[in-house]
A and B are shown apart, each in its own frame.
Chain A
């Protein structure tokens, strides 16, 4: 029988203020040390067909990095994730999210709702495999609010074998889509610093846009997973470096 699996956590600067997780969902502090981030591994997101509800709070001035360490890369047939997060002032959540690999006959639905308070920052990255030949439905709504104003409302949806996706302007024949969101009132870099990390190789397209001066969105369509991962990692490493430069003085 289907039951909701919940994961709730409140992050302080170097430890969890409180934490509750239903099996198989878990968060554990990672071994790696970092100048500013406290890093946690999140696991279990791909190990249940029950609806998952993740509710996180990043307390004021905390710098939290979340790594999705799923051992099983493929999603289950039914994958429903409600991810809610409140990031308090001066805090930062850096979520290096997993790849999403829909299996045949899968139905993936996720709603990510993030509230970014004041000068808080939020980073989210994700790579989705558009498996050719598999039957799947993928829906992901990214909703980012800065208290009363909605910064982003992005309901991405792909249905395998949907005829229209092959047309110009859609996902065309690209098997991989990636996104990085970086929300910050003052991104600590120039847009050209990011732009030069995006290649325009054959069968690989990337673009970057400013989000009304409150962040940036980078999107890729690619046929080359190795190159795509390389670029995503390169951009994330650059963000890490710049964020560290600024935040190391606040620790």
Chain B
């Protein structure tokens, strides 16, 4: 890895640092019902949840959107960028997940624009003035990553990795699990992150899919809980 590439990687990693507000609590919202009903109650259960979460839910939705956005931005096809944002927004069926993702996108955009000038993000900010429903975290993240010239593979891989670790951190506190179990679950899922990233590089918008029905129903039920462990 060259010095330039190494610096870019650090920059990309910093985008996922906890100092930047993120959206991953949205995914924990769906997991909460599984933890409460004791269906996710052990390291093995958590590994099962992570498997479907990374290898399916994130791969066939967020990862595809990141890849497609890079492709359209490369062609400078702004209409298609807006179309993809529209589709991603419509793809999120559950309102709670939508709101959390938008909230994170909005905070992330504001933070980035407050620390440096970014023509793409400024343009995006103008574009969504009357349509802030499209301002999802993954869209802002992809636009910024493209503008900074981050490698697509690394952009998807780090997104998946930090989504995974964030979910596990939430799970460890809520189940609860020993820290070593969390580390084991994370290390075991690393291969999944790699495989999912490799597969994402071959996928297109038409490959988007939803079969995480259980997660969706859990996220729907979350709204009606009187007390919540995870809120956005």
Q: How many angstroms from the CA of A205 to the CA of B221 in the assembled complex?
A: 9
Question: Which residue of B40, B86, B98 contacts A149 across the interface (Cβ within 8 Å)?
Answer: B86
With known contacts A153-B91, A167-B52, A207-B220, A212–B98 Cβ distance under 8 A: yes
| Number of residues on chain B facing chain A (CB within 8 A) | 41
Instruction: Assess whether A157 is in contact with B93, with CB atoms less than 8 Å apart.
Output: no
Q: Is the interface of B mostly helix, strand, loop or mixed?
A: helix
Q: Do residues B93 and A209 form an inter-chain contact, with CB atoms below 8 A?
A: yes
Query: Chain A binding site: helix, strand, loop or mixed by DSSP?
Result: strand
Q: Does residue A17 face the partner (Cβ distance < 8 Å to B)?
A: no
In the complex, per-residue mask of A135-172: 1 if CB is within 8 Å of any chain B CB, else 0: 00001000110000111111111100000110111111
Chain A's closest residue to B46 (CB) is A168
* CB of B92 to closest CB in A, whole Å: 9
B39 and A168 contact, CB distance less than 8 A: yes
> Which residues between 209 and 251 of chain A lie within 8 Å of chain B, taking CB atoms?
209-212, 217, 219-221
- B95 in contact with A211 (CB, 8 Å): yes
Judged by a CB distance under 8 angstroms, whether B30 is at the interface is yes
Interchain CB contact under 8 A, A206 and B212: no
Contacting B at CB under 8 A, from A173-218, are: 174, 177, 195, 205-212, 217
In the bound assembly, the distance between CA atoms of A143 and B90 in angstroms comes to 9
B49 to chain A, nearest CB (A): 4
Contact of A221 among B96, B133, B217 (CB under 8 A): B217
User: Does the CB pair A219–B220 fall under 8 Å?
Assistant: yes
Q: Quick one: given A157-B209, A168-B49, A170-B56, are A212 and B216 in contact (CB under 8 Å)?
A: no
Interface size class of A (residues with CB under 8 A): 35 or more
How far apart are the CA atoms of A182 and B61 in the complex, in Å? 24
CB distance from B51 to the nearest CB of A (A): 5
Decide: B220 and A209 in contact? CB cutoff 8 A.
yes
Assess the B55–A164 pair: CB atoms within 8 A. yes
**B189-232 to A contact mask, C-beta < 8 Å, 1/0:** 00000000000000000001111111111111101100000000
Instruction: List the B side residues contacting A208 at CB < 8 Å.
Output: 220
Q: Which 9 A-B pairs have the closest CB atoms?
A: A207-B220, A169-B215, A207-B217, A153-B90, A167-B52, A150-B90, A157-B209, A168-B49, A169-B52
Known contacts A139-B209, A149-B86, A209-B219; 6 further A-B pairs (Cβ under 8 A): A154-B91, A168-B39, A169-B30, A169-B57, A207-B218, A211-B95
